[in-house]
A and B are shown apart, each in its own frame.
Chain A
Amino acid sequence: MAAGAASGGSATTDTYKEARTWLLLPAWVTLTILVLAPVIMMLIYSFLTKEFRGGVIWEFSLAAYDQFFFDRGLFGDDPPKIEWTYITIFWRSIWQAGAATLLSLLIGFPTAYFIATRSENMRPIWVFLITIPYWVNLLIRTVSMKFLLRDQGPLNDFLMSIGLIDSPLHIVNTNFAVQLGLFYSYLPFMVLPIYAAVERYNFALSEAAADLYASKWTTLRRVLLPAVKPGVFAGCILVFVPSMGSFLAPDLLGGAKNFMIGSLIEEQFKGNAGNWPFGAAASMILLTMVLIILMFSARQQAKADKAGG
């Protein structure tokens, strides 16, 4: 998002100061009506009573949040216990997103570093190669991944033909398949900010460390890593946040046992069995978590900017 600021050039000017309001009006109106108002309406719906065939009755109720956190027995009159079903699904989503983020970091950091240390003409080509798959339809990418990883799929065929394994690996419908799918979905988000940070890094610092007899790995850990930490942090946030709410990877690669928030929410709005207020409440909880993470990361970023001068 900071691409504009990084590209340099002139700062903002006030050539069109008088027309400013008119220029911005269409964006304000469109986004207020089609994004802001819907989110507020969703907040309201999460406090309404459910209509049994989908939709809501306009009556204030805390039932959706209550159902999320508490178990009051079959008839609703038992003393409330903590309801673990949905908390478990959220916890699994966080865990899966965390694992996918770690995987992206382990592969993404060396990749970003490698690209950033290429010659100046080669760098854009590498970046381009890494970003192309991101622009291919997420659904198609996820389906392709499933096709590749299937028990009778090309990957297993290949591994068996070279004699590495005797029987097919069962990858689809496991947690690992979901992590792999998420990794595949959002990897460029990890590579790009780290790449940008390493590209700005002054390698004279590494030279200095080497001159003082630091080993290469010490230099990486103690000199480079602290300098590019904001990029690493940004990359982790950019992978973690969309992973947590993803729907396609868990749905297509995970199967029923590996349910995540996205599927839980989707289920509430499909067919007649849905519970709209509950779906709205689950969405609100997810949105709140995401906004807290984003605010926290903005504060970290501001701190890093200050420290950097």
Chain B
Amino acid sequence: MASKQFNIKSYTGFKAITLLCLVVLYAPLVVVTIYSFNASQSLTNWEGVSLRWYADVFTGPESGKFKTAAKNSFFIAIVAATVATTIATLAATGMVRGGRFRFRTVSFGLISLPLMVPEIVLAVATLIFFNSIGFERGLLTILLAHIAFCIPFAYLPISARMQGIEDSYEQAALDLYATKRQAFTKILLPLMMPGIISGFLLAFIVSLDDFIITNFVKGAGVETLPTAIFGSVKQGIKPNIMAISTMLLSVSIVMVTISYFVSKSDNTK
């Protein structure tokens, strides 16, 4: 009987396709990572393992550009993710713990709007908006745009987490004469922490990775890592770009992995 059930569920070839899928997903990343350690000046020949292109990123002719770009990128990502996570945490509390209300659907629509509007359209709209109110383009315009599109990415894990927390914990606190504010900061917030951390990390990655919107709203001369990389790649892929890409993709993978394990941890037990 057991073998029959196994048969019914499995289809020949599906496993092979899944493995093919993984190969397609990972091959480009693995190849770029390997070639970033290539000692050769050329892209095609392999001349042994070396860290020369990593050294080039930090000390080479383009290092100044990359350093400024990296500073901008991380500054924007940290601030945008922090602000977006704060806004998203408050909004999630209002949505999940605020009872039924008339504008609930509208509010959810507004929060998920940045996910529904195609990125290029949002980029155009943001550029036009800043232009029409005479806001000079620069670091601040990038930051504001990033805060907006980071909100849904922070909101989704946070609200998912809150829906999984029964309100009996807060009710108990309220029964024991805690104020609403105390129940929120002392009970709900700590319970939500895994969701908040995971939301923050996702917002951080999304901000760090954004190219299209940044490319539109950045002022002349202001670069983030993706726009600097894009500018470089337009003249052809160079080995130092592969070194920078490898570093950036490692940051993303580490962050997502942390986010995954944090959101899986359960501190309500």
Taking a contact as CB atoms under 8 Å apart, the answer to whether B166 and A9 are in contact is yes
Checking B87, B91, B114, B120 against A265 with a beta-carbon cut-off of 8 angstroms, the contacting residue is B120
Rounded to whole angstroms, the CA-CA distance of A136 and B112 in the bound complex is 22
Q: Tell me the chain B residues, 223-269 only, with Cβ under 8 Å from chain A.
A: 226, 229-230, 233, 237, 241-242, 245, 248-249, 252-253, 255-257, 260, 264
Find A31's partner among B5, B11, B25, B151 (CB 8 Å cutoff).
B151
Residue B10 at the chain A interface, CB threshold 8 Å: yes
- The prevalent SS among residues of B at the interface is helix
Chain A residues with Cβ under 8 A from B98's Cβ?
12, 14, 16-17, 19-20, 23-24
Provide the bound-state CA to CA distance between A10 and B164, in Å: 6
Stretch at the interface among A64-72, A79-87, A139-147, A299-307: A139-147
Interface residues of B in 119-170 (CB under 8 A from A): 119-122, 124-129, 131-132, 144-145, 147-149, 151, 155-157, 159-160, 163-167, 170
Contact A26/B14 with A1-B115, A8-B164 known, Cβ cut-off 8 Å: no
Answer yes or no: A28 CB below 8 A from chain B CBs.
yes
The docked-state distance in angstroms from the alpha carbon of A128 to that of B260 is 8
B145 (CB) vs chain A CBs: closest residue: A34
A13 touches B147 (CB 8 A): no
Residues of chain A lying within 8 A (CB to CB) of residue B249: 136-137, 140
In contact, A143 and B11 (Cβ under 8 angstroms): no
How many residues of chain B are within 8 Å of chain A by beta carbon?
Answer: 109
| Stretch of A159-167, A227-235, A243-251 at the chain-chain interface | A243-251
Are B97 and A15 within 8 A (Cβ)? yes
* A274-289 interface code vs B (CB 8 A; 1 in, 0 out): 0010011001001100
Within 8 A of B (CB), among A31-89: 31-32, 34-39, 41-42, 45, 55
Closest chain-A Cβ to B259's Cβ sits at a distance in Å of 9
* A212 CB–B CB distance under 8 Å: no
A262 near B120 with CB under 8 A, answer yes
| Complex: A22 Cα to B180 Cα, angstroms | 14
Q: Is the CB of A216 within 8 A of B170?
A: no
* A245/B22 in contact, CB under 8 A: no
B13: chain A residues within 8 A (beta carbon): 110
Cα distance, A154 to B33, chains bound together (Å): 13
Q: In whole angstroms, how far apart are the Cα atoms of A36 and B15 in the complex?
A: 45
A103 to chain B, nearest CB (A): 10
| Interface-lining segment among B52-60, B63-71, B208-216 | B208-216
Query: B90 contacts the other chain (Cβ, under 8 Å)?
Result: yes
Known contacts A12-B100, A265-B120; A32 and B128 CB within 8 A of each other: no
A206 to B8, CA, bound (A): 7
Q: Does B113 lie at the interface of the complex (its beta carbon under 8 Å from any beta carbon of A)?
A: yes
Can you list 9 pairs linking A and B with CB atoms under 8 Å apart? A12-B97, A14-B99, A24-B90, A31-B113, A42-B124, A140-B245, A183-B24, A245-B121, A286-B118
B binding-site residues for A, Cβ under 8 Å: 4-5, 7-11, 13-15, 17-18, 20-22, 24-29, 31-32, 35, 43-44, 86-88, 90-91, 93-101, 107, 110-122, 124-129, 131-132, 144-145, 147-149, 151, 155-157, 159-160, 163-167, 170-171, 174, 180, 183-184, 202, 205, 208-209, 211-212, 215-216, 226, 229-230, 233, 237, 241-242, 245, 248-249, 252-253, 255-257, 260, 264
What 5 pairs between A and B have smallest CB-CB spacing? A14-B99, A23-B94, A245-B118, A38-B129, A144-B28
